[in-house]
Amino acid sequence: MGTAVEFWLDLNEEQSDLRDWVHGFAEQVVRPAAAEWDEREETPWPILQEAAKIGLYGFEFLINTWSDNTGLSLPIANEELFWGDGGIGMAISGTSLAVAAIYGSGTPEQLVEWVPQCFGDADDPKVAAFCSTEPEAGSDVASMKTRAVYHEATDEWVLTGQKAYATNGGIANVHVVTASVDPALGSRGQAAFVVPPGTAGLAGTKKLKKLGLRASHTADVFLDDVRIPGSCLLGGKEALDERLDRARNAAPKNKNAAMRTFELSRPAVGAQALGIARAAYEYALEYAKNRVAFGRPIIENQAIAFALADMKTEIDAARLLVWRAAWMGRNDKPFTAGEGSMSKLKAGEVAVAVTEKAVQILGGAGYLREHPVERMFRDAKIYTIFEGTSEIQRLVISRAISGMQIR
């Protein structure tokens, strides 16, 4: 009873401080450098170093954002960082994919050993890569061909195969590589391994040329008889053997565990898309207020004003889905309707639509590199593709709501 407020959407003080702090970095350091690093198509090491210096790049930052029990801190930080720039944002956050895999599957000892090596330090920052996708196994993860074979005599794993499109692949200090240990079990026969710095047999191709996120390094990775100590299997051999036994003797149930891991990371990725979308919307809004055609600011035409109204509405709707999924993940709520996928699907599609509209609102100017909406338009497109394409998100949602094997 009583009038106590049980539900609210205000950020608490810590969250609004975090937002303002990341926004300051995005505005003062990231945004002014965005066009240059996009053109250079290189990893912006000096900016990574700046981020490390202020504590925005490192394990402590990630742990702090992950431990917020509302779940909102990481989406809030990502939205602001990617508001600054998608490519530099990904150069800074790419490492967290590998760290999340170590955190999610590793033992406490593995966490302590490898995570610091993923980030390096402010004097000598490093990056890490998470290598899962293969030339013939993208959406279809179960088709993974990279093999990991255990050699008991030497207590070593030997990895052989090829990985595709790995963020930071080849330039990373630490590579986390997924591989099949028992191909007959499909995705349930896969495991993740840490490949330590300088391990022989692992090589990245040269940086792939991309449409967007150009400051972020993407490369294919070859694994040619890569020998790593037994201790590099994330989670350890005993846990793997138990898991494989369960998979061999039971109906495919622990698919749900893998699915949940993806659902947990999706709102954070959706928030990146949201940051890019918001940046483009804000730029287009200002432009439309100032650009005069037919003797009046173009925003005085409903066609333009309503487009901006729709852009803002869609961005805010996407943010609510992102925050809901982040909150559900942190509070162990079951994703009964694929809410994690919904958040990434909506935010990715909104980012593509909003950045496209922003280019349109700027007219010819929008098509030129002089204005950032051109870059934002290119950067946004990846969000309907990686971390599960829009079609795969729809597959997850439709299976969750129907309980049927939708194909």
- Contacts with ligand FAD, residue ranges (CB under 6 A): 97, 130-133, 138-140, 165-167, 210, 213, 218, 382, 385-387, 389, 391-392, 395
Question: Is 119 or 165 the residue whose CB approaches ligand FAD more closely?
Answer: 165
Question: Is 80 or 379 the residue whose CB approaches ligand FAD more closely?
Answer: 379
Residues 6+ apart with CB under 8 A from 11: 19, 72, 76
Q: Which two tokens stand for residue 255?
A: 């698919």
d(Cα 282, Cα 263) in Å, to the nearest integer? Answer: 29
- The least distance separating ligand FAD from the CB of residue 203, rounded to whole angstroms, comes to 16
Q: Identify whether 349 is a catalytic site residue.
A: no
The CA dihedral of 398, 276, 72, 10, to the nearest 10 degrees, is: -110
Please work out, in degrees rounded to the nearest 5, the angle formed at the alpha carbon of residue 81 by the alpha carbons of 69 and 108: 45
d(Cα 113, Cα 137) in Å, to the nearest integer? Answer: 30
Question: φ and ψ at 84, to 5 degrees?
Answer: -65, -55
* The dihedral sign for the CA sequence 159, 162, 164, 169: positive
Question: One of 50, 79, 134, 387 is an active-site residue; which one?
Answer: 387
- The least distance separating ligand FAD from the CB of residue 3, rounded to whole angstroms, comes to 48
Q: Which two tokens stand for residue 102?
A: 């170590």
Question: φ and ψ at 277, to 5 degrees?
Answer: -60, -45
- The least distance separating ligand FAD from the CB of residue 130, rounded to whole angstroms, comes to 5
d(Cα 131, Cα 162) in Å, to the nearest integer? Answer: 9
- The least distance separating ligand FAD from the CB of residue 288, rounded to whole angstroms, comes to 31
Question: Is 68 or 349 the residue whose CB approaches ligand FAD more closely?
Answer: 349
Helix axis angle, 86-105 to 31-40, nearest 10°: 90
Residue nearest to ligand FAD (CB): 138
At 262, is the secondary structure helix, strand, or coil?
helix
Question: Is 52 or 100 the residue whose CB approaches ligand FAD more closely?
Answer: 100
Residues 6+ apart with CB under 8 A from 220: 135, 162, 163, 164, 165, 166, 169, 204, 205, 208
Question: Is 137 or 247 the residue whose CB approaches ligand FAD more closely?
Answer: 137
Question: Is 167 or 311 the residue whose CB approaches ligand FAD more closely?
Answer: 167
- The least distance separating ligand FAD from the CB of residue 69, rounded to whole angstroms, comes to 28
- The least distance separating ligand FAD from the CB of residue 248, rounded to whole angstroms, comes to 26
Q: Show which residues are catalytic.
A: 387
